Amino acid sequence: MSHPYKKRLRRSMMFLNCQKPGLIKDPYIYKPDSIMLDLEDAVAENQKDAARYSLYHALQEIDYRGVERVVRINGLDTPHWKEDIRVCVAGGADTIRIAKTESAKDVHTVEEHVLAAEREFGRPEGSTLLMAALESCKGVLHALEVCESSERLIGIALSGGDYTKDLQTVITGTGVELQGARQQMIIAARAAGVQCWDTVFTNLDAMDVFEEEVKMIKMMGFDGKSLVNPRQIDIVHKIFTPTQKEIIFAEKVVREIDEKKALGIGVFTVDGKMIDIAFYNGAKRTIDLAKASGVYEGDL
């Protein structure tokens, strides 16, 4: 049976540095859907051990009030990832974000150690979810096999900084350098039935550009975005939450299709737009998203 939280709402996934107690003690006040407690790049090489103790006690003792607790572990090419997995599972992290994923084999390697840790620490087998960050050209090209690699895998996230280095370019702010990866990843994720998140946007002085980028990735089909600052959360939630107009239209579509189906009518109009069965799943998704976002008051 699939994990009950595998497809939960994940519009905003905010990074927090495990090396900084001041950052990890109360991030739930900003109400992100998920926090990503970072053991990887944000933590200095000689503080990897210290970050784990802080992580363990934070997971065990801080009530994050329903916010999903994802932990980003160090890459499989480092000496840190095995102990990272042990502490994540022992502490009861909801999800582990695998850095620098390039293949299904990488996911399987992590999965094997997660299972061993679940047995060691008496956690239910299969309770720890996984997500994979794709940070290289090879990783992006292998997106589909990564998406299909494990029942625990909730989705894939683009890591634009490392990816553009591998591509031999830079983050330009136009998004042109990320077009191929974004398109490839969202198609792979949808084909495999998992979620997909866009990369961080780090220029906090350009909130208008950030907003445009969030609108674009929403249109592309992404489920949400990795974030670096609490100021970014509300913007993402606003864009990813259906408007009342969209909800009302979706309700009409669902009701009309159900009614007309019974009458043997396949195509008809709603508010002047031609509608047929192809619109049904999209309308249902809008209502599901509205429900998950806490803005639905209807009875569908």
Partner 1 sequence: MEIKKAAMAGTLESSDAQVTVEPGTDGIQLSIESSVIHQFGRQIKATVMETLSRLEVTDAKVTVVDKGALDCTLKARVECAVYRSNGITENLPWGGVIR
Residue nearer to partner 1 on the CB measure, 49 or 151: 49
Pairing of strands 268-270, 273-275: antiparallel
* Candidate ranges 87-95, 104-112, 149-157, 218-226; the one touching partner 1 (CB under 8 A): 87-95
- Name the residue nearer to partner 1 (CB basis): 16 or 290: 16
Listed residue (250, 236, 235, 234) closest to 290, CA to CA: 250
Query: Of these, 27, 32, 75, 91, which contacts partner 1 (CB under 8 A)?
Result: 91
Query: Cα 161–167–172 angle (5° rounding)?
Result: 55
By CB under 8 A, residue 57 contacts partner 1:
yes
Which residues ranging from 123 to 182 are in contact with partner 1 (CB under 8 A)? none
Task: Indicate the SS3 state at residue 266.
Answer: coil
Task: Determine if 44 is a binding residue for partner 1 (CB under 8 A).
Answer: no
Q: Mapping DSSP to helix (H, G, I), strand (E, B) and coil, where does residue 99 land?
A: coil
The owner of tokens 């009309």 is 256
Kindly report the length of the chain: 300
- Residue 58 CB, nearest distance to partner 1 (Å)? 6
Find the part of the chain contacting partner 1 (CB under 8 A) among 83-91, 167-175, 234-242, 288-296: 83-91
Does 58 bind partner 1 (CB under 8 A)? Our answer is yes
Residue in 62, 187, 209, 216 binding partner 1, rule: CB under 8 A: 62
- For residue 49, the minimal CB distance to partner 1 (Å) is 5
Check residue 234 and report its DSSP letter: H
Q: Residue 90, interface with partner 1 (CB under 8 A)?
A: yes
Cα→Cα distances 122→31, 69, 125, 126, Å:
30, 19, 8, 12
Cβ closest to partner 1, residue 61 vs residue 297: 61
Query: Does residue number 53 form part of the binding site for partner 1 (CB under 8 A)?
Result: yes
Burial environment of residue 197 by CB neighbours within 10 A (0 to 12, 13 to 18, 19 or more): buried
Q: Rule CB under 8 A: choose which of 3, 20, 218, 284 binds partner 1.
A: 20
Determine the 3-state secondary structure of 199 from DSSP: coil
HEC-encoded secondary structure of 112-174: HHHHHHHHHCCCCCCCCEEEEEECCHHHHHCHHHHHCCCCCEEEEEECHHHHHHHCCCCCCCC
- Choosing from 60, 169, 172, 281, the residue that interacts with partner 1 (CB under 8 A) is 60
Q: Does residue 82 bind partner 1 (CB under 8 A)?
A: yes
- Nearer residue to partner 1 within complex by CB, 48 or 142: 48
* Binder among 10, 72, 86, 142 for partner 1 (CB under 8 A): 86
Q: Using CB under 8 A as the criterion, which residues of the chain lie in contact with partner 1 when the complex forms?
A: 20-22, 25, 48-50, 52-54, 56-58, 60-62, 82-83, 86-87, 90-91, 121
